[in-house]
Amino acid sequence: MEPQLLHTVADAVATVVIRHPAKRNAMTAAMWAALPPLLDTLAADPEVRALVLTGEGGTFCAGADISTLRESPEEAQRLAVRAEEALAAFPKPTLAAIRGHCVGGGAQLAGACDLRFAMEGALFGVTPAKLGIVYPASSTRRLVSLVGPATAKYLLFSGELIDTDRALRTGLVDEVLPEGELAKRVAEFTRILVSRSQLTQAAAKEFVGGRTDRDAHWREQARAGGDTEEGVAAFLERRQPRFTWSAPGRG
């Protein structure tokens, strides 16, 4: 079965599925390279208000296909970082739905999402020390922002896998669900996300990401976009708001 990224759009949610069952959904060079243009397409789609990244079957992603590292480790890392940064820059909320192994490059992709929901029994690891690879600075900073310096060092120094209990406790994941409940919870939560103001979400995503110099820009967007007036009116009229501001694609 050909390794590939699959995608669907339904009910304003884009779902991207990592598919490489022969190697527990490990990412090939072609898959890394395909992710940024796919994300550009989905970001530009006005029907898409949120994105879910997941793996086919019982595994999220076991990392990079090691054969690609043998061919050209520097190029493989460049492609992985570019894909990770493209995912982090996606202008709408992103959620990783994790089953099974989320290791190496898989952990990079999950960490680049805004939120991570995992099924009980999932395993997480950041494993460059097992291969003698220097973990990229941008990926390291993102990991530290999620779990703090001590846990980041534990993961990076040892390459050991951690379970969902520790992942939840350290902030690597946001929710842990029993077997059979993950898909239901992801669907429920993405329905909430797509009902909220994209204006609020886009501004919050920038600010949380460290860009704090655009207060004036977002105040102007709020004045011109109409979401604030609609939100207040809907609250007073006791109805669901109909927000219309749309996040732009990634230019």
**Spatial separation of the C-alpha atoms in residues 244 and 235, rounded to whole Å:** 16
CB proximity list for 209: less than 8 A, separation 6 or greater: 88
Q: Is 199 exposed, middle or buried (0-12, 13-18, 19+ CB in 10 A)?
A: buried
Q: Is the pTM of this model over 0.85?
A: yes
User: Is residue 101's pLDDT more than 50?
Assistant: yes
Res 115: pLDDT: 98
For 128-156, how does the pLDDT look when each residue is reduced to its tens digit (9 = 90+)?
Answer: 999 898 999 999 999 999 999 999 999 99
**Spatial separation of the C-alpha atoms in residues 224 and 238, rounded to whole Å:** 24
Q: Which of 64, 65, 177, 70 is nearest to 120 (CA)?
A: 177
Reported confidence tier of residue 71, pLDDT bands at 50, 70, 90:
low
Q: What is the set of domains in the chain, with CATH numbers?
A: 4-193 (3.90.226.10), 197-237 (no CATH)
Res 68: pLDDT: 67
What share of residues in the chain are helix, strand, coil (percent, to 5)?
50, 20, 30
